[in-house]
């Protein structure tokens, strides 16, 4: 079968995007893994599929990690999905809504950037009680659409993100679903830098949107820094996280603002 695809990236987190509004595609996990393979396929951290909405939004968002497994949400993917679906609509909209497993989200076009109105974070735990060998940091956890652990460290550049990230991702405390693992450091009040090991990619990626949100919320809880929090990512960009606090460890109106760019499109035999 010849598949038409688009390649996009959000802050360096890259995606194969397919238009499946007619539901004619039924990609298997193996096919998705092959499409995301950087040597044998297009190469990407994940695959986004546009499907018809079921509950009144503009579209349905499906997200698959590079290993072919479906995930509930992807923050950088959501910005790319917003940019992609806005281009599918007849009149250029200010906002696109889409159903995800983590709830219905909205993407707003803000100048060159896309701002995602995220689902409210759940399962927030300051100090999850877990620890991993060789990492002297408290592991906080929160689900910002997908599960995340956040560890604040002094020396981010020299942190072994793959080793510690893999140990956290596979830690029994976060089983059976596993977790993404973020390492963050404070650059100045309200400005942090992060690196993320992603579940389903099983490696460090250049950026992770839901991970940025997790680290920004923890930064607020640990230091009191107000919104918006700026987040530098490994890919070199700085994104912005907005939020409102509704309780001691509860947040709403969480937003993620950053780039979402088309890279190329093509056809591939699968």
Name the residues annotated as catalytic.
74, 208
| Binding track over 51-70 against ligand LBFN2T5F, x by CB under 6 A | --------------x-----
**Residues 210-249 within binding reach of ligand LBFN2T5F (CB under 6 A):** 210
Q: How far is the CB of 230 from ligand LBFN2T5F (least distance, A)?
A: 17
Helix (H) or strand (E) holding 182: strand 180-188
| The one segment of 125-133, 205-213, 233-241, 243-251 that binds ligand LBFN2T5F by CB under 6 A | 205-213
Q: Residues annotated as binding site for substrate?
A: 13, 65, 75-76, 180, 198-199, 209-210
3-state helix, strand, coil in the chain (%, to 5): 20, 45, 40
| DSSP code of residue 213 | H
Report how far Cα 250 is from the mean position of its chain's Cα atoms: 20
Under the binding rule (CB under 6 A), the answer on residue 50 touching ligand LBFN2T5F is no
> Which residues lie across from 106 on neighbouring strands?
97, 117
**Assigned token pair, 47:** 């695959």
**Residues 174-203 within binding reach of ligand LBFN2T5F (CB under 6 A):** 180, 198-201
Under the binding rule (CB under 6 A), the answer on residue 208 touching ligand LBFN2T5F is yes
> Which residues lie across from 241 on neighbouring strands?
229, 256
Q: Which of 8, 16, 50, 71 touches ligand LBFN2T5F by CB under 6 A?
A: 71
Q: Is the dihedral of CA 48, 8, 65, 25 positive or negative?
A: positive
Count of helix runs (H) and strand runs (E) in the chain? 4, 18
Under the binding rule (CB under 6 A), the answer on residue 76 touching ligand LBFN2T5F is yes
Q: How far apart are CA 42 and CA 9, in angstroms?
A: 13
Q: How far is the CB of 231 from ligand LBFN2T5F (least distance, A)?
A: 12
| The one segment of 101-109, 150-158, 167-175, 206-214 that binds ligand LBFN2T5F by CB under 6 A | 206-214
| The one segment of 101-109, 129-137, 207-215, 236-244 that binds ligand LBFN2T5F by CB under 6 A | 207-215
**Residues 143-162 within binding reach of ligand LBFN2T5F (CB under 6 A):** 146
Sequence-ordered list of residues with C-beta below 8 angstroms from that of 115, at least 6 positions apart, any chain: 107, 108, 255, 256, 257
In this structure, the number of other CB atoms found within 10 A of the CB of residue 11 comes to 28
Under the binding rule (CB under 6 A), the answer on residue 13 touching ligand LBFN2T5F is yes
Q: How far apart are CA 150 and CA 168, in angstroms?
A: 10
Report how far Cα 132 is from the mean position of its chain's Cα atoms: 24
Nearer to ligand LBFN2T5F, 224 or 235 (CB): 235
Residues that bind ligand LBFN2T5F (CB under 6 A): 13, 65, 71, 74-77, 146, 180, 198-201, 208-210
């Amino acid at each position: 079968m010849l598949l038409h695809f688009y390649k996009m990236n959000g802050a360096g987190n890259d995606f194969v995007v397919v238009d499946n509004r007619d539901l004619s595609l039924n990609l298997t996990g193996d096919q998705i893994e092959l499409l995301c393979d950087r040597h044998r396929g297009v190469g990407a951290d994940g695959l986004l599929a546009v499907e018809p909405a079921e509950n009144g939004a503009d579209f349905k968002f499906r997200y698959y990690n590079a290993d072919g497994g479906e995930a509930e949400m992807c923050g950088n993917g959501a910005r790319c999905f917003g940019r992609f679906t806005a281009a599918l609509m007849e009149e250029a909209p200010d906002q696109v809504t889409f159903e995800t497993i983590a709830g219905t989200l909205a993407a707003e076009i803000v100048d060159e950037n896309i701002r995602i109105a995220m689902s409210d974070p759940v399962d927030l735990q300051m100090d999850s009680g877990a620890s991993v060998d060789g990492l002297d940091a408290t592991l906080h956890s929160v689900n910002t659409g997908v599960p995340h652990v956040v560890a604040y460290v002094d020396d981010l550049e020299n942190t072994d993100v793959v080793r510690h990230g893999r140990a956290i991702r596979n830690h029994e405390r976060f089983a059976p679903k596993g977790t993404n693992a973020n390492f963050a450091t404070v650059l100045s009040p309200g400005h942090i830098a992060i690196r993320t090991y992603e579940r389903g990619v099983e490696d460090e990626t250049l950026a992770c949107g839901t991970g940025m949100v997790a680290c920004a919320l923890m930064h607020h809880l640990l230091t009191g820094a107000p919104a918006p929090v700026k987040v530098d990512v490994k890919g070199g960009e700085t994104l912005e996280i907005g939020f409102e606090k509704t309780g001691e460890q509860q947040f709403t109106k969480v937003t993620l603002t950053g780039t979402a760019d088309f890279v190329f499109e093509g056809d591939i035999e699968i």
